Amino acid sequence: MHLKRIELEGFKSYRQRTILDNFNPNFNAITGLNGSGKSNILDAICFVLGITNLNHVRAASLQDLVSDYGKTGIERAAVSVVFDNSNRARSPCGYENYDEIVISRVIVSGQQKCFLNGSICPISKIIDLFRSIHMNVNNPHFLIMQGRITKVLNMKPLELLSMMEEATGTKMYESKRQVAEHLIHCKEKKFKENERLLVDAVMPKIKKLNKQKDEYNQLKLAKSKLGMYERLVAAYQYHQAKENISKFNTLKESSLKSIDSEQNIMACKQEKYTEIEVELKALKKKQGQCTALTKLQEELSKCNKDECSAQSVYESKVNALKKLEEYMQSLSDHIAKTEKNKADKNEMYAQRKQAVEEEEDQFQRLKDSAKQYQIMCDVLQNGMTVDTEGKAFTMASCLTAAQGKLTNIEVEKNSLEMKIAEAKKKLKKNKEMQDAAIPEQKQLISDLDRLEKEVQNLESSIAALQFDQHQLTEMNKSYQQLSDECHSLEVKLRQLESQFPSLEIRFSEQTPEFDRNKIKGRVAELIRIKNPRMAVALDVTAGGKLYSVVIDSSETVRMLNDAKCLKQRTTFLPLDAVESKVLNRDVIRRAKSLVGDENCNLAVDLVECVDPEFQKAIDHVFGTTLVCTNSEMAKTVCFDKGVRARTVTLDGDVFSPLGTLTGGSKPSGGYLLEMRVKNQSIHDEFRGKKNQLEKTLKTLHELRAVAQKHSALEGELQMQLMKKNNAAQRLQSCQAAQLEKECESLKNEIDEASCRLNSVNEDYDATKRQCNEISAAWQNSKVNKEAELSKAKKSLKEATKKVSHMEEIVSKHQEELSRLENDIEVLTNDIENAKQEKLRKELEKEELQTAVKDSKFILDGRVNSTKVIEEQLRVIREKLKNENKDAEDMQNEVQQLQQECRDSELRLKQMQQDLNEQQKAAEKYENDLINLCNSNPWIEKEKQLFGVAGTEFDFEANNPGDAAKRLVDAHETIKRLQGHVDKRNVEKCDVYQKEVTDLIRKRKVVYKDRQHLEDVMNLMQEKKREAVAVALEQVNEDFGQIFSMLLPGANAKLVRVSEEDILAGLEVKVAFGDAWKESLTELSGGQRSLIALSLIFAMLLFKPAPIYILDEVDAALDVMHTQNIGKMISEKFKTSQFIVVSLKDGMFSNANVLFRTELRNGQSKVQRIAKQLPTLETVSRSDVTYEQRRKKAQSRVQVLRDDCNRLTDNCENLRIVD
């Protein structure tokens, strides 16, 4: 069992609802700045565990636990903790079947409530739950605070011994021993006083009561004889009355047989009379159908007119649809042709546009060239020259500029040479310092590489999941939409089917939990009717079986019946036991040959299962009944020798091969299947939506599982990225990296300066040559000036001519391009209009198609109605021929049967009068019997023994006359002794005698038990010494190992104060190296804290709890010792969960999960940081040996504790009488 989740709302600094989720089962750490709410989380855990002393959670009253009570409007504080209970071996007693245990504690208006798994409960129940797993929050050994360490340091030898006794579980036996000794001392005086009262007061009173007891026995004997004589006399009187009644009963039976015989004869005649009368009425009803014939003829004429009207409507709709389809085809051809023209225009436009762009570029180049020639002519005419870029200048200004540039280059050259020399000197010094710092840099690079690999692995894992948040969001929306649609359809179905409440399967309140999907539903819900006209016939065919419930197996039926789960009486059809009953196909073919294939069908062929799984049940209900069009056909099929099967008409009349006919009336609420046919489309839609919803839910569960895993990996990736960034920053800020950057910078500076120096040297040489060339050119410029001006004017004329020609070409081609753009736009608008027209026509086509289907459906219905009426007319005309003669014969037979019934009735009256006279004579004797039974209730149980030889009611052996005389003598004896004996004293005598005997026996037992109790207490004391010794040996081993782990090179142990008796007390000894210290006073504060922590952890290892809470136990320790504690917890406590509050990185760096708290606007916030620590691949042999020895010691102490428990139980059975 370990803590999994905490929810806080309004508790201390957690004003808003805060959730700490996904606690690690092993090592969790909580850190944050002072006052940010770290310890408030631990207070919340203790609060939920049932703490009663609020001082331990830093509060004076319950109101102090509510966040800013009375200031911010918050008057409620709630804390909920979820525990993972999947490890059954460490579950609390009575909660082994719960995977999770949720405990909540709420404060409202100064009152508190506790909830356990959602149910309100007293706080004592929660305290007992945690006590069963060694977590008593009001005397906690699993909660280690800073004050606990100080307390351990100041413990005296007996207090250390008490701590050891608490670890072994023998502490409670010491308190029980003291209580027992006090009880023995207090009860000794009471024993002596009881013995004196027994001799002086009780024994004389018992002798007096024994004398009265003898007189009472005489009276009792007389009363017993009196009862015997009374019983014998009453039995004889009862026997005589019984014989007389038997005689009259014989006469009565004879009379009743005669009456029954006459009544049977009369009933047969009445039954025959009723049958003939029913047949006569049916015949008269059929004769009255001549008016129905006229009505059917009128209906036939109306149906023919309706059929012609429907035919014309249908043909007009079909013609309109055909014309619309032809128009839509022409639109499609027009759109295709126009799109082809548009594509050709677009291709031509692209070609022309590219050509125009090239011509515009050529035109711009020609304009630029003409402009340059114009500038050159203007410059040369003004006595200047131009450079290669076309800029005008004078030779004098050019020579002055070149000489100034040469001077600047010389200055820059000298500066660069000095900069290179200085940089090389600094580079040599930095390289020497870098070589000294390389080892540190290599270690940082190795750490960074390791973290980069971990980040890459996590990124690969995240990528492998292929998680898409958008897909999850869309799936949630889809699920919600489907759920709403299913709910809407379900509500609609419930409203429609509320007329048939019997379809609902109602469960009782005591129904146990089971898979409700095993109940498939009622038969009516599992079928679809292929033809709506057959609904009434199929409803009558199934009858009450429509409400039968289809279920998966007989075992489920047995479970429901045994548990009385259903409120109404229900018939089940288990799929594993129900038989598939279907008529032979030869029988079906014979039936169809009699009336035609279209007029006879097997009922099961007219329905369709919603799932093939239920076909056996549907065959069982519908497989043996045939459905015919009318009564005449049904009668022909039913009574045919080759068929002989139950037959149903479309109107609901049922023909049985046994000769019965039922039907003729419609249920008041209508037919169930007729209603379901009307709503069949809604049922189908609901089923489809429900199946789609189940598939969506399955996909959603899969996506949520991937999302949860993705979130966990993202959290871990963020943690590793943070570590990687920190490692990269450390690598960048280390001395070697800084020096390497400086060296690289110096090299780049030297390379740049060298490159610049080479460039400067080249510029120097070029500038020097330029000065010489300008000076020479200045002398020759006057000679070449006229030739250059003439050449420039000629070039300007040619360029101006080319510009004019190109401008005409560009203007012409731009006009053509504009016309193409207009044509394309017109074609685009035409296509868009045609598409919109086509879309409108498609909508019109859908409406026409729907209208065609509707008109076709109406036409088919009217044709079918016409056929049905024609068939009914044919049947009626055939039946009206031979019915008048049968009616006259039946009427004569009815009159004869009426006269015979009247004669039988007169004979019955005479027989009944004779029977009444016999009955009065028998009643007199029966009254005598009743009076005897009322005054003597025992007669009913023993009357079978009356007059039987060998019993007390043997009237030959025991003369009833003599018994009457002895009865009088017994009455006289009772009258004489009745007033002299007090029955209460006799009863007291027996009670007192029994109490005295029991008291003497108890006195002996008490003395024996007292001696046994003293022996048991001595034995328990020895067991306690042995348990403490075994625990001391194991705790010392863990104590020394943990202390040496926290403080390498040191050792510690607990030693006895007295060698003779371990119960005299224990004290702590410490060694550094091989030298054991005599006192702890010379140790530092940190060392003393380490000793106390080592002893506490050793005790915890011996008596482990599922959860441990540590609150800043490392406050007095340095970083190295703090890190050792975190490492020790990770290695030693692998089966327990630790929740540690610490401010030091050395502690929580070993944690698997880190919660970081911070205070924002006066409210505490918590951030969860998942950490992936490297697991230990191997366990050292010494660790295995330590664990084996610890388990062996724990087992030995458990055996001793069990012995003490058995001894304690035996002692509790010993009695010390007051």
Q: Among all chains, which residue has been given the structure tokens 């760096």?
A: 1149
Averaged pLDDT, 1154-1183: 70
Averaged pLDDT, 988-999: 77
Residue 80: pLDDT band (50, 70, 90) is very high
What's residue 142's pLDDT? 75
Report the mean per-residue pLDDT for the chain. 78
Q: Is the pLDDT of residue 8 over 90?
A: yes
What's residue 128's pLDDT? 84
Q: Among all chains, which residue has been given the structure tokens 């009955």?
A: 919
Q: By the 8 A CB rule, do 11 and 20 touch?
A: no
Q: Is the pLDDT of residue 214 over 60?
A: yes
Whole-number Cα distances in Å, 508 to 501, 518, 865: 16, 17, 48
What's residue 903's pLDDT? 74
- Phi/psi for 391 (5° steps) reads -85, 140
Measure the CA–CA gap between 303 and 260, rounded to whole angstroms. 60
What's residue 121's pLDDT? 93
What's residue 292's pLDDT? 58
Q: By the 8 A CB rule, do 1043 and 1050 touch?
A: yes
Residue type, 123: I
Measure the CA–CA gap between 416 and 1155, rounded to whole angstroms. 59
What's residue 1212's pLDDT? 53
3-state DSSP call for residue 1214? coil
Close Cβ partners of 397 (under 8 Å, ≥ 6 residues apart): none
Burial category of 1071 from C-beta neighbours within 10 Å (exposed 0-12, middle 13-18, buried 19 and up): middle
Measure the CA–CA gap between 1051 and 1044, rounded to whole angstroms. 5
Residue 81: pLDDT band (50, 70, 90) is very high
Residues in the chain, total: 1218
Residue type, 559: M
Any bridge partners for residue 1053, and if so which? 1069
Measure the CA–CA gap between 1132 and 84, rounded to whole angstroms. 22
Residue 1210: pLDDT band (50, 70, 90) is low
What pTM, to 2 d.p., does this model score? 0.38
Any bridge partners for residue 1215, and if so which? none
Choice between 144 and 402, residue whose per-residue pLDDT is larger = 144
Measure the CA–CA gap between 173 and 181, rounded to whole angstroms. 12
> Which range (283-287, 865-869, 943-947) has the least confidence?
283-287
Any bridge partners for residue 507, and if so which? 566
> Which range (57-71, 163-177, 931-945) has the least confidence?
163-177
Measure the CA–CA gap between 1192 and 162, rounded to whole angstroms. 22
Q: Among all chains, which residue has been given the structure tokens 């950057």?
A: 741
Q: Which CATH superfamily hosts domain 1-142+1105-1173?
A: P-loop containing nucleotide triphosphate hydrolases (3.40.50.300)
Choice between 497 and 312, residue whose per-residue pLDDT is larger = 312
Residue 773: pLDDT band (50, 70, 90) is low
pLDDT tens-place string over residues 240-275: 777 777 777 777 777 777 777 777 777 777 767 777
The string of DSSP codes covering 1026-1074 is: HHHHHHHHHHHHHHHHHHHHHSTTEEEEEEES-SS-GGG-EEEEEEETT
Close Cβ partners of 193 (under 8 Å, ≥ 6 residues apart): none
Q: Among all chains, which residue has been given the structure tokens 């109404």?
A: 568
What's residue 113's pLDDT? 92
Measure the CA–CA gap between 200 and 909, rounded to whole angstroms. 89
Q: Where are the domains of the chain?
A: 1-142+1105-1173, 500-668
Measure the CA–CA gap between 635 and 625, rounded to whole angstroms. 13
Averaged pLDDT, 481-509: 71
Long-range contacts of 328-336 (CB under 8 A, 24+ apart): 328/838, 328/841, 328/842, 328/845, 331/834, 331/837, 331/838, 331/841, 332/838, 334/834, 335/831, 335/834, 335/835, 335/838
pLDDT tens-place string over residues 117-143: 989 999 988 988 887 787 877 767 777
Q: Is the pLDDT of residue 67 over 80?
A: yes
- Phi/psi for 793 (5° steps) reads -65, -40
Measure the CA–CA gap between 1033 and 1029, rounded to whole angstroms. 6
Give the tokens for residue 720: 């590793």
Whole-number Cα distances in Å, 525 to 584, 611, 937: 27, 11, 60
Any bridge partners for residue 27, and if so which? 1138
Measure the CA–CA gap between 718 and 728, rounded to whole angstroms. 15
Averaged pLDDT, 313-333: 81
CATH numeric code, 500-668: 3.30.70.1620
Give the tokens for residue 85: 């209970």
Paired sense of beta strands 1050-1056 and 1066-1072, if any: antiparallel
Q: Residue 1150's CB: how many other CB atoms inside 10 A?
A: 23
Q: By the 8 A CB rule, do 1167 and 33 touch?
A: no
pLDDT tens-place string over residues 368-410: 667 766 666 665 565 555 554 555 555 566 667 767 777 887 7
State the Rg of the chain over Cα.
Answer: 57
- Among residues 647, 629, 625, the alpha carbon closest in space to that of 638 is found at 647
Close Cβ partners of 458 (under 8 Å, ≥ 6 residues apart): 713, 716, 717, 720
Residue 814: pLDDT band (50, 70, 90) is confident
